[in-house]
Amino acid sequence: MGVELIGIVPIREELGAVERFKGESKLHEKFGDDGIRAYLSIDSKKNAEEIKMETGIAEEKLIEILDYMEREKLIDLKTVYELEIEKTLKR
């Protein structure tokens, strides 16, 4: 599954301070420090495999956290292919 993580890039959503606080609070309630560590590691450039290595979170748990963050609209999960197409279209 690690190969799949290389192709996924979490993109942070632009949130106001209150929305971000609410999202981080719910994330911490559900996943504890791992959830916050994963969220803070997202810089919209690193792929999910790099985040896994940086945070030390197990792959299965990281996938669960990323899925939760996407459902809560804290992040958007993009494939490397989608990002390349977006970059090409902006030119």
pLDDT tens sequence across 34-43: 999 999 999 9
pLDDT tens sequence across 60-73: 999 999 999 999 99
CB atoms within 10 A of CB 48: 22
Structure tokens at 8: 């996924």
The model's pTM: 0.87
* DSSP assigned state of 46: S
* 46 vs 86, residue with greater confidence: 46
Number of domains in the chain: 1
Distance CA 76, CA 48 (A): 12
CB 87 within 8 A of CB 79: no
Task: Name the residue range of residue 49's domain.
Answer: 2-90
